[in-house]
Amino acid sequence: MQKAIQITFKDIAHSDAVEQHIREKAAKLETFYPNIIGCHVTVELPHKHHHQGKLHNVRIDIRVPGSEIVVNRDKHEDIYVALRDAFDAAKRQVEEYGRRQRGDVKHHAARPSAPE
């Protein structure tokens, strides 16, 4: 990654293990699109619902040339599952962005109109 990964914890205690897990997942995104400029990951516990437990929210902002990819996944009690879901979605979006940049996206040919 051309710039450092930024990690923010909101309303949750900092964890070195979680931070390392995030760094590994973010670094792996480069295998799908090597021109990533930067990545900011926010992990938070936005609501404290007693009947649902602690539900984690993960937001990933990925800066790529000419655009920004944003992934927002929330509502999972296990922080690692929330991270997995968010990074899986980020991977799909980064791959799709790379395909569009390379021109690999299929374009449907216009259908000839019926003669009148």
Go through the domains of the chain in sequence order and give each one's CATH number. Answer: 5-100 (3.30.160.100)
CA angle centred on 83, ends 81 and 87, rounded to 5°? 120
Give 67's strand partners.
Answer: 64
The number of CA neighbours under 13 Å toward the Cβ of 7 is 19
What is the side-by-side strand order in the sheet with 67-76? 5-10, 38-44, 56-64, 67-76
Amino acid at 102: R
Structure tokens that stand for 75 in this block: 């509502």
CA–CA distance, 32 with 88 (Å, rounded to integer): 12
pLDDT digits (tens, 9 = 90+) for 42-94: 999 876 655 556 788 999 999 998 899 999 977 788 899 999 999 999 999 99
Residue 19 has pLDDT above 60, yes or no: yes
Residue 2 has pLDDT above 70, yes or no: no
Q: Which residue has the higher pLDDT, 2 or 88?
A: 88
